[in-house]
Structure 1
Amino acid sequence: MLTFIGDYPCKLDAKGRVLLPSAFRKLLTASSEDRFVMRKNLYEDCLDLFPISEWNKQLTMIRSQLNPFNRKHATFLREFFRGTAEVQIDGNGRILIPKKFFADTNLSDGLTLVGQDGKIEIWDSKQYEDSGMNLKEFNQLANDIFGSNMAE
């Protein structure tokens, strides 16, 4: 299983490509991953970049919870897949961000690639900085999720 860690400022080139940080490239090379699925994040104004193996794990989990003959479930699937794109690392370690994603997000040429366990989030650098929590807010979130005493 791939685990992406760290946040890395990157620049978008004139053709819409971003160079993956060397830490991510090394991890991907070791696992022979070069294909990804890109989609708009469900909750934030950023993009999710899933290695194909992680994407397939996500699909297995989703399929186990849904009935394609249920109208709400079918609608969810349609929306979940809407706008997804398969992308590949080029010979120079870059990913091309398809133009359609710029209409759905506020990405600029200053990006931050953020390791989020099995996926990479692609953020506009300013938005990423603005999205951070202070320590007290993070402690409260940890308590809400894991119960009291966890973050103390």
Structure 2
Amino acid sequence: MAHFLGEFECKLDVKGRMMIPSGLKKQLPEAEKEGLVINRGFEKHLVIYTRKEWEKIVEDLSKLNSYEKKTREFIRYFTRGASELSLDAAGRVLLPKNLQEYAGITTEVVLACQFNKIEVWAQEAYDTQLDNEPENFARLAEEVMGGGRRGADE
């Protein structure tokens, strides 16, 4: 499984295309051949997955009980708007207009790597998200990562 690293600021051109930064492109060697998948995130942002990672997610979704209404709703909302992305000869991807609108993306974008995915945020929304950092980040870390897990300091 790929683990991406970094945070990149980008701009969309007038056609909605985004140049993949070279530092990120190096982490996506299979992207030109296999493509990428972009989808809505849980907050008002987008998420880019490698094709292999998306296939793992779809495999997990296919194992859920589709006879349960909550499951059907989750799958429907989770996969809504999922689209393939292809790099053009210049190393750009075209972000679908409906997904740009969902995430409030106009021109300035932040690509925030998170393990096996890349979050795509409107710059202003990303800055707002980070401005709302918990007052006591150490307490949040303890609540989320505590409970017998090894810490980063060990």
Q: Structure 1-normalised TM-score?
A: 0.86
**Separation (CA, whole Å) in 1 of partners of 2:2 and 2:152:** 26
Question: In 1, Cα distance between the equivalents of 2:65 and 2:117?
Answer: 26
Cα shift at 1:135:
7.2
Contact 2:6 2:24 in 1 (8 A): no
Deviations 1:22-63 (A, max 9, x none): 12111212xx22311111101x21110111111112222333
From the superposition, tell whether residues 99 and 134 of structure 1 become closer, same or farther in structure 2 (CA, over 3 Å): closer
The correspondence of residues 1-152 of structure 1 with structure 2, limited to 5 A, is 1-29=1-29, 32-34=30-32, 35-42=35-42, 44-64=43-63, 66-132=64-130, 133-134=132-133, 136-147=135-146, 150=151
Do the aligned partners of residues 105 and 137 (structure 1) sit closer, same or farther apart at CA in structure 2, a change above 3 Å counting? same
DSSP-derived class of the 1:72 partner: helix
Alpha-carbon spacing, 1:61–1:130, altered in 2? closer, same or farther (3 Å): same
Letter in 2 for 1:19: M
Unaligned runs of 5+ in 1: none
CA distance in 2, matches of 1:151, 1:53: 29
Q: Is the 8 A contact 1:143 1:151 kept in 2?
A: no
1:56 and 1:137 map into 2 onto residues whose CA distance is 37
Q: Residues 134 and 151 (structure 1 numbering): CA distance in 2 closer, same or farther, change over 3 Å? A: farther
Under a length normalisation based on structure 2, what TM-score does the superposition of the two structures give? 0.85
Aligned length: 148
Q: Is the 8 A contact 2:134 2:140 kept in 1?
A: no
Give the 4+ runs in structure 1 shifted more than 4 A: 133-136, 148-152
Instruction: Tell me the C-alpha RMSD between the 2 structures.
Output: 2.1
